[in-house]
């Protein structure tokens, strides 16, 4: 345990005298597996990226003793112990476990942001973005997956993917298990945060008075105010590295190599034969007997594919890269973005920084794993809503809202506001206790693109989410902001002194008093990413010219190459993408296992989830789910 290294991270706990004791308590859970700098010349499977998908896939494939697996990760093999504290995730932006990307200047939003650019956090290290995310346990809507299937991703309907949502889950809350929509025994531990913000009960009360349902959005219906669960294990962050790789670390057929920056996929004609990567300023090549599998995420996967000659022909030719396969890699780029509205809380309520630094709260977390340090990045409530009706008959929400306690550092450093904009809005209140309501569109029509900036694999890619290219994408966000305003100013929220900032958003003053116009102006001024990039290696019918991979996740026209991560999603699911990404990797592992058979072990079955649940425990008949 390196206390000096932990203190170097910009957390509110860096100077706490209780830090050594806290670190000792966190160290009772391993947050990363043993990694190695030694590797063989050849493996059956080489997986690029150890994030939410890659960690899952490496663990599942290496369950089979007759195959060898190499997992390569560009980031660190030793994430900080403090990263395990659930309330601190955002404190690790701009550190060595973040790729620290930025988008290009946006055309349709961003006039209140520095250079009109969006800050783009992305996890870098064993566990990937599950090191930085808000740990919210969200599956999406069953219609999302039925839509995938209808669009050509055959075998990915909700009926097909539902068993894998169960397979990954180990739910620790009996009241959730009792409703029949959850499971125990999977690698990902899921539980309710043991923290009750002062505003949480008033928020629920206000929502109920307005006619909204309070529910488990991962059960029969999604629309309503969600009872929050997170990917936590005994109220510490449960990354995919902790969940999947730590239990697999001693397998002799799995090598986990961190600090390995992949330069490109090696190709012999139209067959992937291995990868080229750098470790400590030396370049190596390793062969893949069976397959190379890209699991580097929605922005890094398309970058590596294009560096390898797989991508849009004209773009690659302009950079002098020989074209191996002319495919729309980097296109179909989608992301959830959101707009925030700020509110004050009663002065008697401590700020989040004060809460985290309070020695009593630190001790409470050490002793009981409860209190402010156990908060899911201080998210109190999320809701999935429909713009048209409070309680619609059709369960398919079009926007999501979050109520989050925030410190001043969030708007000051992590939104990217121009200094004068931050000062105008937040300056008078920066030392007050505050919360934001963030509204995001769930099904944006806008499409962006990821392209190469240069042929240097260390240069960040061009990231253009192209937010609001379709102006209709603003409408659901504005509807959510209006709901935020109604709830935050409700009689129930007066119990915690909630009230809107009196400062107005610069450039939007003339619209104040007209909620639609004012909130539209704010959305045009600034958005934040929800870090849900998908679609850049679209899955679907191989005859569809917009697809990159087929429903078995094989790259079209290239043998021995698959993509297994969020980039294959044809469209965004209705909510946060971490759990759907893990689901994709779970299903991909079974798809790949069907291509081989270990002679000295068991015969891999054609899985019949209707009669064999393996480690799944659920009392619900999933075939009839939502039907």
Backbone angles phi, psi at 333, to 5 degrees: -70, 125
Catalytic position from the list 182, 315, 443, 532: 532
The three-state secondary structure class of 315 is: helix
Which of 535, 622, 528 has its CA nearest to residue 581?
535
- Say whether 532 is catalytic: yes
Structural tokens at position 197: 């913000």
Which of 244, 257, 85 has its CA nearest to residue 167?
244
The sign of the CA dihedral 264, 267, 271, 275 is negative
- Measured CA to CA, the distance from residue 301 to residue 286 in angstroms comes to 18
- Measured CA to CA, the distance from residue 84 to residue 232 in angstroms comes to 9
How many other C-beta atoms can be found within 10 angstroms of the C-beta atom of residue 474? 22
CA distances for 225 relative to 213, 438, 478, 484, 529, angstroms: 6, 14, 18, 12, 22
Among all chains, which residue has been given the structure tokens 């409530």?
381
Which of 329, 339, 333, 382 has its CA nearest to residue 530?
339
What is the enclosing helix (H) or strand (E) of 579? helix 578-593
What is the enclosing helix (H) or strand (E) of 258? strand 254-258
- Measured CA to CA, the distance from residue 303 to residue 456 in angstroms comes to 10
- Measured CA to CA, the distance from residue 286 to residue 70 in angstroms comes to 9
- DSSP line for 485-530: HHHHTSTGGGGGT-EE-SSPPTT-GGGTT-HHHHHHHHHHH--EE-
Among all chains, which residue has been given the structure tokens 């697999």?
248
Positions marked active-site: 532
């Amino acid at each position: 345990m390196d206390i000096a290294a932990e203190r170097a991270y910009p957390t509110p706990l860096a100077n706490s005298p209780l830090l050594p004791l806290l670190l000792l308590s966190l160290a009772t859970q391993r947050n990363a597996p043993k990694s190695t700098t030694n590797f063989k010349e050849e493996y059956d499977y080489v997986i690029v990226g150890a994030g939410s998908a890659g960690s899952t896939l490496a663990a599942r494939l290496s369950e089979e003793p007759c195959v060898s697996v190499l997992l390569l990760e560009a980031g660190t093999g030793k994430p900080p112990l403090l990263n395990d504290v659930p309330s601190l995730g955002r404190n690790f932006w701009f550190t060595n476990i973040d790729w620290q990307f930025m988008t290009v200047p946006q055309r349709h939003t961003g006039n209140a942001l520095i250079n009109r650019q969006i800050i783009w956090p992305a996890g870098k290290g064993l566990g990937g973005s599950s090191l930085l995310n808000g740990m919210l346990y969200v599956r999406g809507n069953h219609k999302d997956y039925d839509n995938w299937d209808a669009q050509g991703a055959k075998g990915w309907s909700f009926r097909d993917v539902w068993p894998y949502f169960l397979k990954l889950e180990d739910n620790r809350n009996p009241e959730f298990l009792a409703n029949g929509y959850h499971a125990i025994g999977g690698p990902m531990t899921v539980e309710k945060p043991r923290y009750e913000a002062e505003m949480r009960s008033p928020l629920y009360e206000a929502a109920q008075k307005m006619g909204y349902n309070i529910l488990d959005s991962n059960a029969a219906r999604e629309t309503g105010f969600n009872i929050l669960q997170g990917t936590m294990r005994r109220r510490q962050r449960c990354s995919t590295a902790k969940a999947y790789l730590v239990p697999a670390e001693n397998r002799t057929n799995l090598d986990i190599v961190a600090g390995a920056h992949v330069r490109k996929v090696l190709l012999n004609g139209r067959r992937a034969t291995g990868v080229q990567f750098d470790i400590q300023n030396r370049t190596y090549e390793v062969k893949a007997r069976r397959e190379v599998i890209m699991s580097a995420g929605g922005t890094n996967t398309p970058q590596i594919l294009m560096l390898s000659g797989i991508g849009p022909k004209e773009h690659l030719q302009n950079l002098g890269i020989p074209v191996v396969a002319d495919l729309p890699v980097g296109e179909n780029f989608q992301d959830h973005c959101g707009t925030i509205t700020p509110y004050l809380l009663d002065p008697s309520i401590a700020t989040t920084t004060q809460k985290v630094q309070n020695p009593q709260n630190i001790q409470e977390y050490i002793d009981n794993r409860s209190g402010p340090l156990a908060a899911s990045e201080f998210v109190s409530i999320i809701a999935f809503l429909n713009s048209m009706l409070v309680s619609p008959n059709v369960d398919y929400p079009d926007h999501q809202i979050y109520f989050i306690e925030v410190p001043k550092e969030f708007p000051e450093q992590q939104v990217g506001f121009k200094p004068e904009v931050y000062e105008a809005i937040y300056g008078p209140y920066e030392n007050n206790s505050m919360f934001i309501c963030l509204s995001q569109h769930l099904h944006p029509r806008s499409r962006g693109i990821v392209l190469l900036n240069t042929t240097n694999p260390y240069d960040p890619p061009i990231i253009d989410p192209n937010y609001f290219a379709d102006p209709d994408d603003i409408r659901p966000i504005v509807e959510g902001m209006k709901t935020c305003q109604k709830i935050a100013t409700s009689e129930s929220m007066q119990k915690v002194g909630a009230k809107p900032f009196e400062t107005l958003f610069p450039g939007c003053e003339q619209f104040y008093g007209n909620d639609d116009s004012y909130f539209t102006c704010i959305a045009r001024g600034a958005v934040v990413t929800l870090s849900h990039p998908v679609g850049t290696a679209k899955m679907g019918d191989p005859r569809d010219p917009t697809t990159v991979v087929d429903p078995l996740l094989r790259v079209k026209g290239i043998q021995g190459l698959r993509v297994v991560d969020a980039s294959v999603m044809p469209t965004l699911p209705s909510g946060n993408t971490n759990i759907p990404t893990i689901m994709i990797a779970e299903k991909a592992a079974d798809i790949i296992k069907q291509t081989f058979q270990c002679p000295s072990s068991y015969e891999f079955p054609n899985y019949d989830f209707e009669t064999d649940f393996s480690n799944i425990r659920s009392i619900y008949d999933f075939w009839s789910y939502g039907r």
